[in-house]
């Protein structure tokens, strides 16, 4: 089939690579979000998908909005059979959805109908799910509600961050997307409606959502921090400034600390929660680089009885 691939961030690159390498389908063009400012210099930078497509000699389309007439005209000229999508980052209007004969097929990183929305992997980790996966489905006007072509499953490991899990899903999902394209072309694969039961929603995680509530049980604190790693990054307050937090280790046998209370050892920093303590891993003070919590505590000279979050 002739394909137009839509995607933007790094997590979409393995799927683009897999489609290019398949040798069976032609990736005629790529649709991605416009260049965005990044870094301290605030220079315009192309998306990872745009850079990969350009390196492969593939035409790159960067509409400000996917309903722009110039973009729609070019899409009609290319006349793709199907448009695979991975984390494109913009809603597709019906006028665009109607262009490819076999529709737009999205690779979504959950087992639909669970975790429809922008942040399925983060929510799966934060909820303590034991298994997740990826699904390919035909895009329709509703939020991730279209009929499903296929799925792959992935175990969520005890220390997985959302970044760890998303990295694995990007690879296994890429294989699923290629297999879906093959099955659609062969006519042996048909999409099945999602069940009405089991629908959960995974809205974008905001910076405010990533604030740690130390009165919550240690298990919930651990899941929140792992779910928010690497983005948007879990944090707490100390002395009125934000302190970013890397993954922690629950310590069930330490229950002598109040929620948020620090206990600084020679090579360790424990924090109390609503159940038992957690051991801090890496931290990032405001305006500084990430460092081990013990090194941070030695340099900060924390007074006895310091409480995080206050």
pTM of the model: 0.94
For 226, the 3-state DSSP assignment is helix
How far, in Å, CA of 183 to CA of 164, rounded? 29
pLDDT over 90 at 142, yes or no: no
pLDDT in the model for residue 301 = 83
* pLDDT tens, position by position, 6-52: 999 999 999 999 999 998 999 999 999 999 988 777 789 999 999 99
Nearest to 89 by CA among 193, 189, 12, 185: 12
The answer to whether the CB of 123 falls within 8 A of the CB of 209 is: no
Burial of 9: CB neighbours in 10 Å, binned 0-12, 13-18, 19+: middle
pLDDT attached to residue 293: 96
DSSP letters, 76-145, are: HHH--SBEEEES--SPPPHHHHTSSTT-EEEEESS-TTTTBSS-HHHHHHHHT-SEEEEEEEE--SSSS-
Residues 220-266 have pLDDT tens digits of 999 999 999 999 999 999 989 999 999 999 999 999 999 999 999 98
Q: What is the pLDDT of residue 103?
A: 97
> What distance in Å separates the CA atoms of residue 188 and residue 172, rounded to the nearest whole number?
21
- Identify which of 63, 152, 66, 69 has the alpha carbon closest to the alpha carbon of residue 109: 152
Return the SS3 of 47: coil
Q: In the prediction, which pLDDT does 60 show?
A: 98
Cα-to-chain-centroid distance, residue 147: 22
Average pLDDT over residues 89-118: 97
């Amino acid at each position: 089939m002739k394909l137009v691939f839509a995607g933007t961030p790094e997590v979409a690159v393995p799927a683009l690579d897999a489609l290019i390498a398949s040798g069976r389908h032609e990736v005629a063009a790529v649709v991605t979000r416009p260049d965005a400012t990044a870094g301290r210099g605030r220079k315009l930078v192309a998306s990872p998908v745009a850079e990969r497509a350009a390196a492969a000699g593939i035409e790159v389309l960067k509409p400000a909005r996917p309903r722009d007439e110039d973009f729609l005209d070019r899409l009609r000229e290319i006349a793709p059979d199907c448009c695979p999508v991975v984390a494109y980052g913009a809603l597709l209007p019906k006028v665009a959805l109607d262009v490819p004969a076999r529709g737009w097929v999205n690779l979504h990183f959950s087992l639909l109908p669970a975790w429809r929305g922008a942040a399925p992997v983060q929510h799966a980790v934060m909820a303590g799910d034991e298994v997740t996966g990826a699904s390919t489905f035909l895009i329709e006007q509703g939020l991730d509600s279209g009929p499903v072509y296929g799925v792959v499953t992935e175990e969520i490991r005890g220390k997985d961050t959302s970044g760890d899990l998303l990295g694995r899903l990007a690879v296994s999902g890429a294989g699923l997307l290629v297999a879906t394209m093959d099955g659609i072309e062969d006519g042996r694969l048909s999409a099945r409606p999602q069940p009405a039961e089991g629908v959960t929603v995974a809205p974008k995680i905001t910076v405010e959502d990533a604030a740690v509530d130390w009165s919550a049980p240690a298990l919930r604190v651990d899941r929140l921090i792992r779910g928010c790693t690497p983005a948007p990054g879990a944090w707490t307050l100390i002395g009125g400034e934000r302190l970013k937090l890397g993954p922690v280790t629950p310590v069930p046998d330490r229950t002598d600390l109040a929620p948020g209370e620090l206990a600084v050892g020679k090579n360790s920093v424990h924090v109390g929660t609503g159940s038992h303590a957690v051991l801090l891993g890496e931290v990032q003070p405001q305006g500084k680089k990430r460092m081990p919590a013990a090194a941070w505590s030695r340099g900060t000279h924390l007074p006895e009885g310091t409480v995080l979050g206050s």
